[in-house]
């Protein structure tokens, strides 16, 4: 809950995160591919950025960010410090330390020095942040059977999983609405999206994969892993705003990777001239262009 993170610096990062989410939503709307139409993975609407941008630009971020001497928390009643547990805590403490060094050397009025400190802080935080889980060929069930029947079965099986479990909701819109309305309870609507990605990945890992399609199959799984990572990051935006921003940076990468993997599968099916009718789940692959 938000009440667990009352620090003003966290609020500032959350505001920036809202703007980032909205910008990604706008970008995705403009760049939306047929993959999104078919799977309903993302169909964000454009938001008015003027109010959010104005809020970020007029906030006295230095005063708010450094209202507390440090983001390091103390164990109640003991005065004992504990290490930051979230990426937001880490970046707040790191930047505070860098800023105090600038202050001691009377460089806080130098915008280039402050920008350099923030850039380095963000770089360090991004490198330290958890990344999407990557799967490898030895994680899937590969078969030497590349017969037309095997390919036909594979196409219908995998397409059915995608159509059944991939949510039609967009986590970026849910997160943006939650922040915009200051209603973090709305983030629970991301839970079904997360569950859908988890279920799809789990089932794809168990699917029998013809060896000719092993590369596109593992790429499909890894693209879904990226989208799962993004959804999980946005789900906890009220607890770790910075991790959410890092996760958000993978959003279009995941979408593009999924589209590429599905197109690779479709191209192979086409070359092999595997007959799939419009009433079969596997026809999904032919609806992507």
Looking at 79, 94, 128, the residue that finishes a domain is: 128
- Regarding whether 106 and 7 lie in a shared domain, the answer is yes
Domain C-terminal end among 74, 105, 128: 128
110 & 181 share domain: no
Domain co-membership, 105 together with 243: no
Q: How far is 118 from 135, CA to CA, in rounded Å?
A: 33
Could you tell me the mean pLDDT of each successive run of 10 residues in the chain, 289 residues long? 41 49 47 51 38 38 39 43 57 59 68 67 67 96 98 98 94 89 92 97 98 98 97 88 82 94 97 96 92
Tally of domains in the chain: 2
Same domain, 183 and 265: yes
Domain that holds residue 208: 137-287
Q: Which of 98, 128, 158 is the last residue of a domain?
A: 128
What is the Cα–Cα distance from 135 to 76, expressed in whole angstroms?
42
Do residues 160 and 281 share a domain? yes
Same domain for 141 and 118: no
In angstroms, the first-to-last Cα distance of the chain is: 42
Say yes or no: 32 and 141 in one domain.
no
**Do residues 112 and 209 share a domain?**
no
Q: Do 177 and 115 belong together in one domain? A: no
DSSP string, 74-138: B-TTT--B----SHHHHHHHHHHHHHHHHHHTT-TT-HHHHHHHHHHHHHHHHHHS-------GG
pLDDT at 176: 87
pLDDT at 34: 45
Q: What is the pLDDT of residues 179-196, one digit of tens each?
A: 888 888 999 999 999 999
* Same domain flag for 65 and 176: no
Same domain, 215 and 266: yes
Q: Are residues 173 and 271 in the same domain?
A: yes
């Amino acid at each position: 809950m938000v009440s667990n993170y009352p620090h003003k610096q966290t609020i500032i990062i959350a505001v920036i995160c809202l703007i980032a989410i909205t910008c990604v939503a706008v970008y995705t709307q403009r760049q939306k591919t047929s993959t999104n139409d078919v799977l309903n993975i993302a169909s964000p609407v454009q938001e008015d950025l003027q109010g959010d941008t104005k809020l970020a630009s007029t906030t006295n971020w230095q005063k708010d960010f450094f209202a507390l001497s440090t983001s390091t928390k103390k164990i109640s009643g003991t005065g004992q410090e504990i290490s930051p547990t979230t990426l937001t805590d880490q970046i707040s403490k790191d930047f505070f330390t860098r800023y105090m060094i600038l202050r001691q050397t009377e460089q806080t009025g130098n915008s280039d020095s402050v920008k350099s400190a923030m850039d380095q802080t963000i770089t360090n935080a991004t490198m330290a942040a958890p990344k999407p889980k990557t799967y490898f060929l030895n994680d899937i069930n590969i078969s030497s059977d590349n017969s037309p029947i095997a390919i036909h079965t594979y196409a219908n099986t995998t397409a059915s999983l995608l159509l059944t479990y991939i949510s039609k909701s967009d986590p970026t819109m849910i997160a943006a609405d939650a922040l915009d309305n200051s209603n973090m309870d709305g983030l629970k609507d991301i839970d079904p999206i997360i569950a859908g990605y988890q279920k799809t990945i789990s089932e794809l890992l168990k699917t029998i994969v013809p060896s000719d399609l092993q590369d596109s199959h593992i790429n499909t799984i890894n693209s879904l892993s990226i989208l799962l990572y993004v959804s999980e990051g946005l789900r906890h935006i009220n607890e770790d705003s910075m991790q959410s921003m890092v996760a958000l940076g993978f959003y279009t990468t995941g979408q593009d990777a999924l589209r590429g993997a599905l197109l690779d599968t479709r191209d192979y099916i086409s070359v092999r001239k595997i007959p799939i009718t419009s009433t079969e789940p596997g026809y999904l692959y032919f609806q992507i262009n």
